[in-house]
Structure 1
């Protein structure tokens, strides 16, 4: 029995280590090549929203990231970064602990030491023995193997978050989601080679981008409602990739997969490059 357990452990370690190499994204050339716009691409990038948890998984948690990365080693792992009362960074989607854990109240009102006593719930609401990960935990786990999309929540300084990223020499395996052009410009001033993502909701936003200093190493967060192909073409002429979310009420992720399949494929056909989805494995299987 001991031999079986040992062999199983070796197999699991081999799967984990072979999914992607450590320091796959150790320099700007690697991430630039990963995100280079490719006309006629047959598969979209898959961005696992909140890590891509199923009902029995926890959001924003390393076991969930591991699960998705093993089966989709090119998936982008999205996570939500928040700051604690004592200025540490943890992962949690909501501003409060109520829905996702066995505690209540705002994350910003808790110290890191107290948050370590909190346990996470699954998407279905079942309590687990998992602790809330710190952002540093995730960077140490990743080792530049996968691209991490950092949704730095309001009230958390993205420049400070990026300084934590620098501590792990991980600035070429992440991109930062910014909530305004002003935020994006401030981050870009401190980190000129960093990839950023910013909302581009129409032609007006696109024109502002064209006259800014941001139209390089940029991902456009475009409306969930599909736009005319000319909108995506204009982004692509700037070398900007388009990300489209398919999660949330009345969106594709909420429909049975056979019913939603044509919609996902139409998204890619019109010019959407990145599908941000709650069901990354199922969506990836369609292409």
Structure 2
């Protein structure tokens, strides 16, 4: 599979100028002190190229939705992370993409059938099914780990949006935690709780864009997920959303991350930015960072 791009992707790799904190061990931290700083970072500007780790990462024997995986990514590249909060039987919020434990842990059955005490005895698996030493983190732990280091994007699983909003409020995490929304109504709910809340909105068509505009959802505190592919229809979405100051995100997780070689994947990652996206979400964020350096 070939991708054509006509601009220097190295020049596109503009990440948080002035926002990367000085830190030990050469970590590439994103440290935002206020919601306004977060909003400015994600305001569209030509040439932006931001990496999002989908479920953290699955590279280098690391486990998805693990603190250890996200910390490892930040040793290589600035990134923010899409993560998956779910509830245990006794209503502790942990990170887990699937409703069941089998694929990503050494447990079996439904997460919702396990108490937090039982979940603490489990260990995460890597993408090849090998059991690691990494435990399943709580959302509270991950939020406090991320403070001063990165930005979290809370996807929607079985966690009621009321509880998501309350957890962000409890941690006063509006400067580094955003929430995924699938409708203007969900966006309005979060903004009614706190007008500074950053949103990751699914806006894949002009009709959905118009629904957000008609509902009066402010575009100056969101990014927009427009799909998993480079396709001609993206051009209209770039024009509509960029004109409102909104960065567009493409997720390579279900598509280009599955290409068989490093070279093919790197070419695809660079092509996504050359096509006009400002954010690339990937299961392989370390690879994406390296592709953008070359």
Q: TM-score range by the shorter chain?
A: 0.7 to 0.9
Alpha-carbon shift at residue 19 of structure 1 (Å)? 4.2
Once residues 162 and 147 of structure 2 are traced to their aligned partners in structure 1, the CA distance between those partners, rounded to angstroms, is 20
Of 180, 185, 188, 1:185 maps to 188
Match in the other structure for 1:80: 84
Once residues 148 and 30 of structure 1 are traced to their aligned partners in structure 2, the CA distance between those partners, rounded to angstroms, is 15
* Per-residue Cα deviation, 1:56-109 (whole angstroms, up to 9, x for no partner): 11110011011001211x201221111122221100111111111111122222
TM-score normalised by L of structure 2: 0.84
Once residues 192 and 122 of structure 2 are traced to their aligned partners in structure 1, the CA distance between those partners, rounded to angstroms, is 37
SS in 2 for 1:31: helix
RMSD: 1.9
**Number of residues of Structure 1 aligned to a counterpart in Structure 2:** 266
Q: Which segments of 5 or more consecutive residues in structure 2 lack a partner in the other structure?
A: 1-22
Once residues 65 and 15 of structure 1 are traced to their aligned partners in structure 2, the CA distance between those partners, rounded to angstroms, is 15
8 Å CA contact 1:80, 1:91 repeated in 2: yes
Match in the other structure for 2:125: 121
8 Å CA contact 1:47, 1:276 repeated in 2: yes
SS in 1 for 2:97: coil
**Greater RCO structure (CA 8 Å; 6+ sep):** 2
Residue 44 and residue 66 in structure 1: after superposition, are their counterparts in 2 closer, same or farther (change >3 A)? same
Q: Which segments of 5 or more consecutive residues in structure 1 lack a partner in the other structure?
A: 1-12
Is 1:275 matched up with 2:280? yes
Alpha-carbon shift at residue 55 of structure 1 (Å)? 5.4
8 Å CA contact 1:171, 1:194 repeated in 2: yes
Once residues 132 and 261 of structure 1 are traced to their aligned partners in structure 2, the CA distance between those partners, rounded to angstroms, is 31
The 5 A counterparts of 1:213-252 are 213-216=216-219, 217-226=221-230, 227-248=233-254, 251-252=255-256
Of 15, 21, 29, 1:20 maps to 29
8 Å CA contact 2:57, 2:285 repeated in 1: yes
Of 137, 142, 150, 1:138 maps to 142
The 5 A counterparts of 1:1-287 are 14-15=24-25, 19-20=28-29, 24-39=31-46, 41=47, 43-54=48-59, 56-72=61-77, 74-153=78-157, 155-216=158-219, 217-226=221-230, 227-248=233-254, 251-255=255-259, 256-287=261-292
